[in-house]
Structure 1
Amino acid sequence: MNFIDLFAGAGGLSEGFIRQGFEPIAHVEMNKYAALTLKTRAAYYHLKKNEQGQIYNNYLRGELSQLQLYDTLPEEEAAAVMNSEISDESIEQIFSIIDANLIRKTGQKDKVDVIIGGPPCQAYSLVGRARDPYGKEHDPRNYLYKQYVKFLERYDPDIFVFENVPGILNAAKGTLFKDVQEIMRKSGYEIKAETLNAVNFNVLQNRQRVILIGWKDNLDYEYPVFKKLPQKYFVNDVLSDLPSLEPGEENNIYLTKPTQYLRESKIRDEHDVLTQHLTRVHNERDRKIYAMAIELWNESQKRLVYTDVPEELRTHKNLSSFLDRYKVVGKDVHFSHTVVAHIAKDGHYYIHPDLSQRRSLSVREAARLQSFPDDFYFEGPRTAVLTQIGNAVPPLMAQEIARHVSLMLKHEEQKQLSLF
């Protein structure tokens, strides 16, 4: 089974499908750093498949350059990662590259099983619309779903998965999502969408996403029933094996063996190389506020309200909204609050719960809350990396979605075989 990943980001959704045995035909992503992350991950899987994982670990240790790593990739696999915006001007070129990859891998240019992905979600986010006097009604990103549908019409997959933020449901007073569904149905698909929470997929984060699944209207499919997994672990199970950090520090040496959660979720095993356990620099004013927020949470599980911050420490005059701008990631709860791309701008909303550290989450800690494995390396400067993490689909959630899609395809295949 194969797939095309559109608006791929760092590849969280793709990661889940690869884990379930799907073969990537193409990843299309306009952000150059996210595209490099996808290429690095492609190198990881290629080397793993050929029992050369040590080469990848050498890269993580800094013993191999990025260029040397990419030289291990066959030309067709390197070409499968396209750093390109999807637009009317670029789409034919993207089609031609995908066609060539399909012919190399399947012998025919139109045999695609699944298309996955979701257009950039900022245009649909509630916060984004609140800051736009037009409610982002005129944002061109609202209409990238039309480009997505062009791939459905060209490659005619049996199934597609369209992912986005819950805000898409009521953008433009609900008419936008109705338009999305209508154009997909006109392309020959039955569709259904549900709002799913990553918490129910063993991700230690409260993260809701709209998962729309479509299938050819001549197929007897139904939307999968996703079993909710029990919440038996705590956020500390993600953090406890990592060394303490001062602001601006990096330390890539594991403190202890992996916790049961890390093993079970395949976030870390005994042979992993720790990378990107680094945090941003904070000034002393912010660290004093962090200490207040941490003490309040750890003592009573209460959130710091900005109006309770001493006046000499305040930098904002707004005392009527966004009063929860300092937020601790509690270690003693089953899941954190949602990790979003804003984590790239400042760390105030993602404060580490250890009072002795008084810092925001490290890059690796944020990636783990998204359920990315420690062997997943994000390319680019810290700000670009945190943006990739905040925008991603948690791989554990994606893996379960992919498992159900696989079952749907295999069921159809068995049904067709039984006719002969």
Structure 2
Amino acid sequence: MRQIPVVDLFAGPGGLSEGFHAYSAADLGFSVRASIEKEEYAYNTLLLRSFFREFPRGAAPEAYYEYVSGLGMSRDELFARFPEQAARATQKAHLLELGASTEARALTDQIVERAIGGAADWVLLGGPPCQAYSVAGRARHAKVERAVFEADQRHLLYREYLRILARFRPAVFVMENVKGLATAKLGGESVFRRILEDLEAPARAMDLTESAASDIRYHICSFVVRRPDARLLRAQDFVIEADRYGMPQKRERIILLGIRADIAAEPFSALEPEKPPTVGDVIGDLPPLRSRLSREPDSPEAWNRHVLQGAESVLTMEQVRTWPKLREHLEKVIRELPFGRPTGGRFMQGEPRLRRLGEWYADPRLRGFLNHEARSHMPSDLARYLFVSCFGAVFGQSPSLHDFPPELYPDHQNVGEALKKGSGGFVDRFKVQLRDQPASTIVSHMAKDGHYYIHFDPLQCRSLTVREAARLQTFPDNYFFEGNRTEQYTQVGNAVPPLLANKLARVVAELLGTKASAGTQPAETAKLDAAAP
């Protein structure tokens, strides 16, 4: 099998590279040779997954499962048992802040050179963090001088990305970014159009017009929209709606496909729409849990008492009395509320029984579920979660703040303003993930609170666990997230869904498997280094 080298920048926990690694066809596959990430806990997750990939599919050692299941083995002991695989993993996963210094750039170049080994056809993954270009970031930077904006570290990371493109000339690059990039403007100029021009000619964008890399050009294509001339593509044509392409989540991101100009870009198959799995399809088989209690001693008795008190209180509220079906559902919860459910943990025994995508998620050797631990909630929030989950089950939608009984309004200064305006993010501060629909976008904010990610089952009365969020992001069950729970949520929320990446890999494989490449090896020029930010 022909193995195409892959380098993953700004890798996070490795969602993009996981999807490419998992792709395989009779004659072509992808070999993830290097991943670079600056956050320590995401890097630790990346390193462990790199170690896992050093073994043939289905042949990871039992010691790996002992470690991720928390059965007394440390990661140091695991790596010591398999030193060759651990050494290779360490050569592929790197803790490094791209573009942070001259030394960091030199080390990055060494990593990339070693990874591609002189190959003309290789793939670059990842997008530079562009919070400066996002919807929220755009508002913050609207009145900032261009010179100040371009000195922003995130802009420097973008220039580092261009430098790597210009110097190492990947056959294909896949760049992911926030949807807000499509409409962002700076000084009245479209940021997105400027970025497309930069990516089409990265050496020119870096003012390397006299260097050996000045001739490098890319066609920038959409994975989902075909037009006779790529120049006719609109910014919206690059937005991928994840649920439209079989993901169990309503996630919209810009994903660009860059094809080196010496490789014919036409024709190739765009992603094919397919019916998405629902929340119930992909998390309904996970062991039911109860949340913990915060701000007071936790116990099964205390939790049951608070949930029952919350249910009985909601039943007496005047607004709820006007909804007979909602009252009936709450009364059913009171009758069926279980006692003594676990709160979960690093590992929970069980057997996956997925309704969709079982082959993608399940690993029969795991014999359970990782990172499946409920977070703690204040007793006052349990009543809100109970109301929201019952409302969703009865009415098929999540309630807005306007649907809440006044007694359940959160004690927050934004409540009055939200009710008065009738719109804004705070109106949907509490949101249930409906069993029969794809989930809301999984984002890193869930590390701060779970109000936007309430489980559909009122008998559990909690927000989603890391594993449930990972399922909605399509991480395989044997993918273990390092760090504490907050750090795990952040990693999952920041990732590209691996299954979506796997579908992108199919498009790239079609390009590289059928197109002849006349690419040259990376140019070595002093001017490239001199032009680095």
Q: TM-score, normalised by structure 2?
A: 0.72
Alignment map for 1:4-403 (pairs within 5 Å): 4-20=7-23, 21-48=29-56, 51-63=59-71, 64-71=73-80, 72=82, 73-87=85-99, 89=101, 90-102=104-116, 106=117, 108=118, 111=120, 113-130=122-139, 134=143, 138=149, 139-172=152-185, 175-187=190-202, 188-193=217-222, 194-222=238-266, 224-231=269-276, 233-248=277-292, 249-251=343-345, 252-255=347-350, 257-264=352-359, 266-272=360-366, 273-307=368-402, 308-311=404-407, 313-318=409-414, 319-320=417-418, 321=424, 322-333=426-437, 335-403=438-506
1: distance between equivalents of 2:129 and 2:110? 23
Distance 1:14 1:352 in 2: 29
Provide structure 1 residue ranges, at least 5 long, that are not aligned to the other structure. Answer: none
Whole-angstrom CA distance in 2 between matches of 1:84 and 1:75: 17
What is the rounded CA distance, in whole Å, between the counterparts of 1:116 and 1:215 in structure 2?
Answer: 12
Q: Secondary structure at the match of 2:192?
A: helix
Displacement of 1:62 in angstroms is: 1.8
State which drifts further: 277-286 or 251-260: 251-260
Name which of structure 1's ranges 289-298 and 72-81 shifts more when overlaid on structure 2.
72-81
Larger radius of gyration: 2
Question: Cα–Cα, structure 1 residues 9 and 301, in superposed 2: closer, same or farther, change >3 Å?
Answer: same
CA distance in 1, matches of 2:120, 2:405: 59
Q: Given that residues 99 and 156 in structure 2 are in contact (C-alpha distance below 8 angstroms), is that contact kept between their aligned partners in structure 1?
A: no
Q: CA RMSD in A?
A: 2.4
Q: Cα gap change, 1:269/1:154 in structure 2, threshold over 3 Å: closer, same or farther?
A: same
Query: Conserved in 2, the CA contact under 8 Å of 1:19 and 1:399?
Result: yes
* Higher mean C-alpha displacement, 377-386 vs 126-135: 126-135
What letter corresponds to residue 10 of structure 1 in structure 2? P
CA contact (8 A) 1:43 1:69 kept: no
Per the TM alignment, residue 208 of structure 1 is displaced from its structure 2 partner at its CA by: 1.1
**1 CA distance for matches of 2:177 and 2:464?**
25
Offset at residue 218 of structure 1 (A): 2.1
For 1:176 and 1:13, how far apart are their aligned partners in 2?
A: 24
Query: Is the 8 Å Cα contact of residues 116 and 160 (structure 1) preserved in structure 2?
Result: yes
Q: What is the rounded CA distance, in whole Å, between the counterparts of 2:253 and 2:284 in structure 1?
A: 28
User: Deviation digits for residues 291-329 of structure 1, max 9, x if unmatched?
Assistant: 111111111123322243535652212132321000000
Q: Cα distance 1:289–1:128, how it changes in 2: closer, same or farther (>3 A)?
A: farther
Q: CA deviation at 1:88?
A: 5.2
Answer whether contact 1:124 1:142 (CA < 8 A) is retained: no
Deviation at 1:176, TM superposition (A): 1.9
Shift of 1:100: 3.4
Aligned pair count?
A: 408
SS of the equivalent of 1:147 reads helix
- CA gap of 1:255–1:68, structure 2 versus 1, over 3 A, is closer
Partner Cα distance (1:270, 1:225) in 2: 33
Q: Which residue of 1 aligns with 2:303?
A: none
How far 1:51 sits from its partner (Å)? 2.9
Contact 1:165 1:209 in 2 (8 A): yes
Relative distance call for 1:262 and 1:213 in structure 2 (3 A) is: closer
User: How far off is 1:175 after superposition?
Assistant: 2.4
The structural deviation recorded for 1:415 is: 10
CA-CA distance at 1:134 after TM superposition: 4.5
1:336–1:407: structure 2 CA closer, same or farther, 3 Å change rule?
Answer: same
Residue 3 (structure 1) aligns with:
6
Deviations 1:168-209, CA, capped at 9 Å, x for gaps: 112225622222111222231111241112113321101111
From the superposition, tell whether residues 133 and 221 of structure 1 become closer, same or farther in structure 2 (CA, over 3 Å).
closer
| 2:259/2:265 contact within 8 Å kept | yes
Helix, strand or coil: the match of 1:236? Answer: helix
Q: Distance in 1 between matches of 2:430 and 2:136?
A: 17
The change in CA–CA distance for 1:130 and 1:356 in structure 2 (over 3 A counts) is farther
Q: Distance in 2 between matches of 1:141 and 1:16?
A: 26
Mapped partners of 1:309, 1:387: distance in 2: 32
Structure 2 contact 15–495 (Cα < 8 Å) conserved: yes
The residue type paired with residue 278 of structure 1 is: E
Q: What is the letter of the counterpart of residue 237 of structure 1?
A: D
Q: Is the 8 A contact 1:258 1:270 kept in 2?
A: no
Amino acid at match of 2:466: V
Q: In the alignment, what sits opposite 2:328?
A: none
Determine helix, strand or coil for the equivalent of 1:226. coil
Measure the CA separation in 2 of the matches of 1:378 and 1:74: 18
Displacement, 1:224? 4.1
**1:256–1:83 distance in 2 versus 1, CA, 3 Å:** closer
Tell me which amino acid in the other structure corresponds to 2:361: I
In structure 2, stretches of 5+ residues that fail to align are 24-28, 203-216, 223-237, 293-342, 419-423, 520-533
- Percent identity (aligned): 35
